Structure 1
Amino acid sequence: MSSYDESNLQLDIPVLLPNIPDEHDACVERLIADLAGREGVSKVHVLAAAAGQPARLCIHYDPANISLARITEIAESSGARLTKQFGHVLWEVNGVQNSSRARTVTDYIQQMPGVLEAVANVAGPVRIEFDRSVTSEAALRKGLEDLGVIFPSASPALAPEHGEEGEEHEHEHGGIFGRNTELIFSFLCGGFLVAGFASSFMVSVPIWIPLVLYVASYGFGGYYLLREAIESLLVGRFEIDFLMLVAAAGAAVLGQWAEGALLLFLFSIGHGLEHYAMGRARRAIAALAELTPPTAEVKRDGNIREVPVAELVVGDVVVVRPNSRIPADGFVTLGTSSIDQAPVTGESVPVDKRAVSDIAEAASMASDLSAEFRVYAGTINGGGALEIQVSKLARDSTLARLVQMVSEAETQKSPTQRFTDRFERIFVPVVLISVGLLLFAWLVIDEPFSASFYRAMAVLVAASPCALAISTPSAVLAGVARAARGGVLVKGGGPLENLGTLGAIAFDKTGTLTEGTPRMTDVVPASGVTEQELLEAAVAVEALSDHPLASAVVRDGAERLGGHTHVATADNLQSITGRGLVAEIAGDKVYVGKAALFAEIDGSPIPIDVAETSENLEKQGRTTMVVRMADRYLGVIGLMDTPRAAAAGVITSLRTLGISRMVMISGDNSRVADAVAKEVGLDEAMGDLMPEDKVATIKRLRLEQPVAMVGDGVNDAPAMANATVGIAMGAAGSDVALETADVALMGDALERLPFIIGLSRRTSRTIKQNLWISLGMVAILVPATLFGLQLGAAVVFHEGSTVIVVINALRLLAYRDVI
């Protein structure tokens, strides 16, 4: 069931969590924690199971702040599957050319039966959440088409989420001149205006000719304006279009046909420019969707054949020639090459790829393969030929999901946009009332009614917040588009603006500030022992273990030894739980483990110098291994998850951007956390934290100032949910990271963090500039028209401010990285 109460929509959603006994399970608690901290969610609680009814999750949220689709996404990333009763569609459409039209379409859809949420964005897309028991996609399409919204061929990335694509409609025309009809009408309006104005000075031309030309100008300039004004009135809104129409009609009543036609011409041109600006930002996203090649060369039945990418299935092997685009997500089975992954991850340097050693094993764990084996649709192959096994269908590829999520993000309003929308709802009626009062000025001051009427129409134009309506959405759309082009997914205007307010950032350690894999950092032989002797013994024993630390010793130890020496072979491996390993080399027992191990086993005690070396390394955050062969101590090996090469530079750049406090919150031990924090330049490190401790830390930081949590999007999900902004690393390789975060760095590149924060701050500045321009122009023009500024001049300045804010917003598409 659902009910609407002021600005909050409350939904009782049956939650199906597999393999849990009841609603008290920890999985349910985690789901509640993930949802409860989100901006826009005011309350989350469980309604206990009743007779014949499963336990139900009740979510109270503000649909202007967070969408039902986003809530579903977060829930599914936490292991829940939400009921299919609620449908979600994201349609790319034409016919939503400007902000006022978008608001009208939004209100129209929201009044349709069964619709829970709806947002129509300038120049598309349209997002609708609906109750399948009440309405259907076909009914929603029919309602939109009745309103004049046009459905072009659907993009796969924007297909309905639950697979009910329905019948595709191909519309080639949005009017008698196709999709450019409105723009052509505005030019015809201007042409007839010029002709009418010129003919009025010709003595030989009959007096009715200029009037006919002006009427024609009104007809072409006011056609769409009148249609949109009527549509907005039908849904109970007084839009800016209505104000302009009243002003143009008033000018005609006064016989000022030229000024009225000029108003309609400039207003329609302004709409056209707005449509162009939004279209340009949209094309920056559409260009991503077009990166995937339309066909692929696939090996089937021993032959290579060309098939449409949409027909590829999981398990197909495709041949990728040098310098061509990768057609699908998958992993390399044959060949080596370097691949330009910038379109998906934003990485500026090509990434080396090689074939997996075991294809069957790789296929079973495709989503967990390391970056050197995985490839993404739309990326560009280098000079080597490759064979790639497909691991995802075209519609599920990382690129397709990125395009869909960016399109979703464009429908999410920022805090400033929600404010301006509320402001307009109040401001427009106030303008109409004020103009109505000005019509009676002739009763108070000594002037004819015509003068009062003219002044009222000029004030009506001056006070119309056209530039205000487009100032925020144009900047947000351009900012989201630029972020996507730079390999960062920002899920809406809210996170984009919130990034610009950050004063603090909390980082997870493993895989975020560090590489995520341990490295051998120290090799300290005991007195009278060579490094080679120490490493040969350690590598021989650890080669028998599958522990991650053992893998690091074998990998880095073999690299240090080089190919010039023969590593001994060990056997009879035994694990000493929590302490280390013991094996035999040429009949001698070799122990590799913590210093504490050697106090618990027979044999000579650990020498003082070896013990001190181990203790000193541990103080520096190293995990240590002491090696003993028979009764002879060979030395100490230190390992550590080393910081990313870029981490220190990123921290410096963030300080330059004004982030005043940066801390690490880690589950690792405090000494390791302190060592990494000191090396990269953080202010503070907190180690030995459980997930609930991380949440408490984030809540405490958030009380002081806006804070972001940067993590991997999986075990850090609760902390990310409670931060002002949750930022996931390496989202190109993780579906969970894509779903959990407010912001996702598509590549495993920490360097993108200063870029997106810098872009956010630039976007916030642009929005503020646009608000000052739009409101400042109103503040100047209204008193100017009251004191005699002509209607024509008011029109020129009014529409000029709209052009300025559009151009200012488009500058965000050219934003350059800060590092």
Structure 2
Amino acid sequence: MAESKRPEDAETSTPDADATRKSRSPGSAAHAHDNESGGKEDHDHGAESDGSHDHGHEGGIFGSNTELIFSLLCGALLLAGWLLGKYGLVSTTLETGLYVVAYVFGGFFTLREAVENIRRRRFEIDTLMLVAAAGAAALGEWAEGALLLFLFSLGHSLEHYAMGRARRAIEALSKLAPETALRKRESGTEEVPISALEPGDVVVVKPNERMPADGFVITGKSSVNQAPVTGESIPVDKQPVDDAQQALGAFDRVAASSRVFAGTINGSGSLEVMVAKRSTESTMARVVKMVTEAQQQQSPTQSFTAKFERIFVPSVLGFVGALLLAGLVLDEPFSATFYRAMAVLVAASPCALAISVPSAVLSGVARAARGGVLIKGGAPLENLGVLTAIAFDKTGTLTEGKPKLVDVQAAPGVDQEELLAVALAVEMHSDHPLAAAIVAGAKERISGSSQPLSAEDVHSVTGKGVKGRVGGDDVWIGKAKLFAEDAGGLPQEIGSIDQHLIEKGRTTMIVKRGERFLGVIGVMDTPRAAAADVMRKLQHLGVKDLIMISGDNQRVADAVAKTVGLSEAKGELMPDDKVAFIKKLSANEGKVAMVGDGVNDAPAMASATVGIAMGAAGSDVALETADVALMADDLTKLPFVVGLSRRASGVIRQNLWVSLGVVAVLIPATLFGLNIGTAVLFHEGSTLIVVINALRLLAYGDAKAASA
């Protein structure tokens, strides 16, 4: 079967692309400027890095609620001691005893974490709180020390509860896949754990059941709710593959209409699915793993606050030490000097600062995952929230990725039906994508009453078009160059039609039968239906420069850009040119995102501040290469994730102002006499405010993406 060689409406990758894909990771050198730490900062209030502090809160005599119950017992004992002492119902010794027991319950977990930190040769916030509580006890201010430990431990436990909510939003993803599957055997079916499934196994999925593994349909038809993985709101129709063994060997290339993912929900039809990946390698399992790893990736602000704390905490201890010498200058008892120093110690403890950024990052990543978007850490979340330029690949990103017949211009005196019938007869013998577009479009436009024509002796004319015979006449179909060099020249009238369509961004083919020119056919990779609306929403969100970079000719690029509402289009770019353009754009804009499929566009995505891959659920390469992965092949997810990132950046800024502002106010206030109890109240109150503010991100909705 002959294949005509036409101008491709697709882009190619370079030999370097594979190496780029292999080397790229969220913490690769390409993004070293985004995540300079790369390490796991381990703050007691955040517990965001490696979970090392969670063990004290997950275990205990009351299970995961032990710390909360201990803090409430501390508060109850504090209240009892204060009331009984105030009304003289117990002796001073018994009142003090109640405060001492309150110390035990309130300081238990704080002491454990402080000891762990000291073993690591680190002075953290827990240490500051314990020193302040011990100082209050040394002064005989047991009630104020107990109040400090009560509010600190209560705030601490409530933070862990609130952060747990965000983590549970992520962990819930891993529980979507069923625990067992109905595996098909020659003798019937057997129920097995999903961990026992191997590639090539066939499982039966009944109506309304969840898919047990990644695979593809081999028998049956149904619609599948893919929202748990891709975030798509509308169920996707599924049908069997043509060749199961071929599909098993190339799962990434299986059509979306046949591919299914673990955790998605079958509709009303019964399906037989061939397993393509083990349970530990499923898209769902990998997303959960990557989101969990994303919690450990520090954002630029997080790195800054971590460095700030490492300098700030020792500075506070030094400042408090200096305050203890104030008695050498001021005429006051040492007890007053010591009390003031302990109050300053409480006021200066950066608890809210430690939790402000991690809580926002965790909530933002969790909300994105629930919406079918994988954000690999705080750096891409923050960067996406402040950038003002986004570059797009054309083919398959802004366009459908499949050329369509869009224009049929018959020559004067020629019936359009004849033009289409001749083109259909010849192009049916080619498997070229442009030929397939002509065949599909012609079949739609030709009336059912027309008699189909047949072609013979079809062969390609290299780089120009195709030639064949229809009804005894020679037929040429191809570019203008074909007729200028091989088919006897081109009439001015046909040349004008051809040029007009080219200027509209069409890939054109002129059709000649015998001595008659029948007309010109225009084919185009049509823009996605949602593309124009997506661009408007992105501009509303503050993204000023929306630029398309493509390997196609400039006219095609301009036509697509005009249709979807881009601010600029760059055509005729090789992969190396795309990388150079992204670097130049970054130099001008500071931070730039690149949206592509994560495969052909890997070099350009690696050069951008944030690489965004579409349709990542079906592509291992896209999952690995991108900083942000839109699991569905759905461009409308882009405004959602940009809006969410904008909101997250705003929350981070608000949290930093609150946390640093409270410290800035409390330190001078305590120097001038504010007592420890009031300082603790404001201190822990600000900590809870920043956590609650961050948790608002969990409620961010798709509908808000255009108005955030």
**TM-score under structure 1 length normalisation:** 0.81
Structure 2 counterpart of 1:356: 241
Separation (CA, whole Å) in 2 of partners of 1:691 and 1:712 = 14
- State the match for 1:634 in structure 2: 518
The one-letter code of the counterpart of 2:29 is V
Shift of 1:493: 0.3
Q: What is the distance in 2 between the residues matched to 1:337 and 1:267?
A: 54
Query: Which residue of the partner structure matches residue 472 of structure 1?
Result: 357
Q: What displacement does 1:375 show?
A: 1.3
Give the match for residue 299 of structure 1.
Answer: 184
Match of 1:690 among 571, 574, 584: 574
Matched letter for residue 41 of structure 1 = A
Deviations 1:130-187 (A, max 9, x none): xxxxxxxxxxxxxx7xx9958xxxxxxxxxxxxxxxxxxxxx9722333332222212
Structure 2 partner of 1:243:
128
CA distance in 2, matches of 1:623, 1:462: 69
In structure 1, the residue corresponding to 2:44 is in which secondary structure? Answer: helix
Deviations 1:467-495 (A, max 9, x none): 11100000000011111111111111011
**Using the alignment, how far apart are the partners of 1:722 and 1:673 within structure 2?**
22
Matched, 1:508 2:393: yes
d(CA) in 2 for partners of 1:332, 1:189: 59
Q: CA, structure 1 residues 666+280, in 2 after alignment: closer, same or farther (shift >3 Å)?
A: same
The separation in 1 between residues aligned to 2:17 and 2:173, in whole angstroms, is 38
The residue that corresponds to 1:702 in the other structure is 586
Unaligned runs of at least 5 residues, structure 2: 1-13
Q: How does 1:632-781 map to 2 (within 5 A)?
A: 632-705=516-589, 706-781=591-666
Deviations 1:535-554 (A, max 9, x none): 11111111111111111111
Give me the whole-angstrom Cα distance separating, in 2, the residues matched to 1:808 and 1:477: 12
* Partner in structure 2 of residue 815 of structure 1: 700
Distance in 2, matches of 1:788 and 1:232, equals: 31
Which of 672, 675, 698 is the matching residue for 1:790? 675
- Cα shift at 1:189: 1.2
Q: Which residue pairs with 1:461 in the alignment?
A: 346
Q: 1:32/1:325 Cα in 2 relative to 1: closer, same or farther (>3 Å)?
A: closer
1:516/1:641 contact within 8 Å kept: yes
Match of 1:555 among 423, 437, 440: 440
Contact 2:38 2:298 in 1 (8 A): no
| Match status 1:268 vs 2:239 | no
Distance 2:612 2:58 in 1: 42
**Distance between the aligned counterparts of 1:552 and 1:501, measured in 2?**
41
> Which residue of 2 is the match for residue 41 of structure 1?
29
The 2-side partners of 1:386 and 1:367 are apart by 20
2:508 alignment partner in structure 1: 624
What is the root-mean-square deviation in Å for CA atoms of aligned residues? 2.4
**Is the CA contact (8 Å cut-off) linking 1:709 and 1:727 kept in structure 2?**
yes
Query: Does structure 2 conserve the Cα–Cα contact (< 8 Å) formed by 1:40 and 1:63?
Result: no
2:322 to 437, 449, 464: 437
CA distance 1:201–1:225, shift in 2 (3 Å): same
Give the structure 2 partner of residue 345 of structure 1: 230
Larger RCO of the pair (alpha carbons < 8 Å, separation 6+): 2
What letter is aligned with 1:657?
Answer: L
Q: Which moved more, 1:240-249 or 1:313-322?
A: 313-322
1:571 to 453, 456, 466: 456
> In structure 2, how many angstroms separate the alpha carbons of the residues matched to 1:802 and 1:742?
30
1:222-246 CA-partner distances (Å, limit 9, x unpaired): 1111121122112111111111001
Letter in 1 for 2:576: E
| Amino acid paired to 2:44 | S
Work out the CA distance in 1 between the residues paired with 2:548 and 2:22. Answer: 21
The residue aligned with 1:65 is 36
Q: Say yes or no: does 1:380 pair with 2:351.
A: no
Q: How does 1:181-260 map to 2 (within 5 A)?
A: 181-260=66-145
Query: Residue 336 of structure 1 contacts residue 355 of structure 1 at CA under 8 Å; is this kept in 2?
Result: yes
Conserved? CA contact 1:34–1:717, under 8 Å = no
SS at match of 1:527: coil
Secondary structure of the equivalent of 1:478?
Answer: helix
1:326 equivalent in structure 2: 211
What secondary structure, in the 3-state scheme, does the structure 2 residue paired with 1:789 have? coil
Q: Distance in 1 between matches of 2:616 and 2:17?
A: 25
- What secondary structure sits across from 1:624 in the alignment? strand
Superposed, 1:575-590 pairs within 5 Å as 575-590=460-475
Q: CA deviation at 1:206?
A: 3.0
Q: How far off its partner does 1:693 sit?
A: 0.7
- Aligned partners of 1:66, 1:629: CA distance in 2, in Å? 68
- Residue in 2 aligned with 1:99? 43
Shift in alpha-carbon separation, 1:67–1:250, aligned structure 2, 3 A = closer
* Deviations 1:401-423, CA, capped at 9 Å, x for gaps: 11111111110011111111111
Which amino acid in the other structure matches residue 546 of structure 2?
M
Name the counterpart of 1:83. Answer: none
Alpha-carbon distance between aligned partners in 1 of 2:600 and 2:17, rounded to the nearest angstrom? 14
Bigger shift: residues 693-702 or 338-347: 338-347
Query: In the superposition, relative to structure 1, how do residues 400 and 204 fare at CA in structure 2: closer, same or farther (>3 Å)?
Result: closer
SS at match of 1:625: strand
Secondary structure class of the residue paired with 1:355: coil
Q: Comparing 218-227 with 201-210, which one deviates more in the overlay?
A: 201-210
> How big is each residue's C-alpha offset from its partner over 1:71-117, in whole Å with a ceiling of 9 and x where there is no partner?
xxxxxxxxxxxxxxxxxxx9xxxxx9x83277xxxxxxxxxxxxxxx
Structure 1 residues 610 and 213, CA, compared in 2 at 3 Å: closer, same or farther? same
Q: Which moved more, 1:623-632 or 1:358-367?
A: 358-367
Considering fraction of residues, name the structure with more helix.
2
Distance 1:598 1:62, change over 3 A: closer
Q: Which moved more, 1:626-635 or 1:710-719?
A: 626-635
SS in 2 for 1:99: coil
Moved more, 239-248 or 192-201: 192-201
Taking the aligned partners of 1:204 and 1:508, their CA distance within structure 2 comes to 78
Deviations along 1:16-41, one digit per CA (max 9) or x if unpaired, are xxxxxxxxxx9679747986998873
Mapped partners of 2:546, 2:492: distance in 1: 39
1:423 aligns with 2:367: no
Number of residue pairs matched by the alignment: 690
Partner SS, residue 200 of structure 1 = helix
Distance 1:527 1:27, change over 3 A: closer
Superposed displacement of residue 303, structure 1: 1.0
Residues 1:501 and 1:173: Cα distance change in structure 2 (over 3 Å) = closer
Amino acid at match of 1:568: L
Instruction: Look up the equivalent residue of 2:544 and give its one-letter code.
Output: S
